[in-house]
């Protein structure tokens, strides 16, 4: 399965908003970054911050082979030659779930992280109960680092975060 990562843009907002069916979905995807209901103003501020105030953040829309927007991924805390973090990873299109897109997104994102930013390590955090995501990350070569209890205060309560890391040496050609 192939996917393409391209810069996240305002034309993606309606599609992303359609994926968020309640405060729990929003909190699981974005922690406390947004409030429910998600709207264009919040997404525009998110996009503006990434481009202006936080140049160490890059946002991407995920396109399937038919160029349909099916997901989103954020690269944050980018420290070239050192590390970056994947955040707000979502396969939002329900029809795209369970079809191998998660591995395809991670392959593309890891290649981009190692090539464009020349980092040695990519980190991510995931809700500890999200076993499907944790297994997807492990399959892509991420290693378990540990648990950060009550890491994020969200409208649905505190989230315990399972931290994982992937190093350049795990990257396959």
Coil, helix or strand for 79?
strand
pTM (2 d.p.): 0.92
Phi, psi of 10 (to 5 degrees): -60, -30
Residue 96's CB is within 10 A of a number of other CB atoms, namely 19
Question: Does 26 score more than 70 pLDDT?
Answer: yes
Q: How confident is the model at residue 146 (pLDDT cuts 50, 70, 90)?
A: very high
Phi, psi of 45 (to 5 degrees): -60, -40
The span from the CA of 27 to the CA of 32, in Å, is 6
Sequence spans of domains, the chain: 4-170
What pLDDT score was predicted for residue 53? 58
* Superfamily classification of domain 4-170: Gcn5-related N-acetyltransferase (GNAT) (3.40.630.30)
Helix (H, G, I), strand (E, B) or coil at 75: strand
């Amino acid at each position: 399965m192939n996917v393409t990562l391209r810069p996240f843009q305002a034309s993606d907002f309606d599609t992303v908003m359609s994926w968020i069916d309640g405060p729990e979905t929003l909190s699981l995807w974005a922690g406390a970054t947004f409030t429910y209901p998600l709207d264009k103003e919040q997404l525009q501020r998110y996009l503006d911050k990434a481009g202006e105030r936080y140049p160490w953040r890059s946002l991407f829309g995920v396109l399937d082979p038919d160029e349909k927007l099916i997901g989103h991924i954020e690269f944050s805390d980018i420290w070239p030659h050192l590390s970056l973090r994947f955040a707000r990873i979502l396969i939002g299109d329900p029809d795209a779930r369970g079809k191998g897109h998660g591995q395809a997104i991670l392959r593309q994102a890891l290649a981009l992280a190692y090539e464009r930013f020349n980092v040695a390590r990519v980190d991510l955090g995931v809700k500890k109960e999200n076993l499907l995501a944790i297994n997807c990350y492990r399959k892509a070569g991420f290693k378990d680092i540990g648990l950060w209890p009550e890491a994020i205060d969200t409208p649905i309560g505190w989230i315990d975060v399972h931290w994982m890391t992937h190093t350049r040496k795990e990257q396959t050609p």
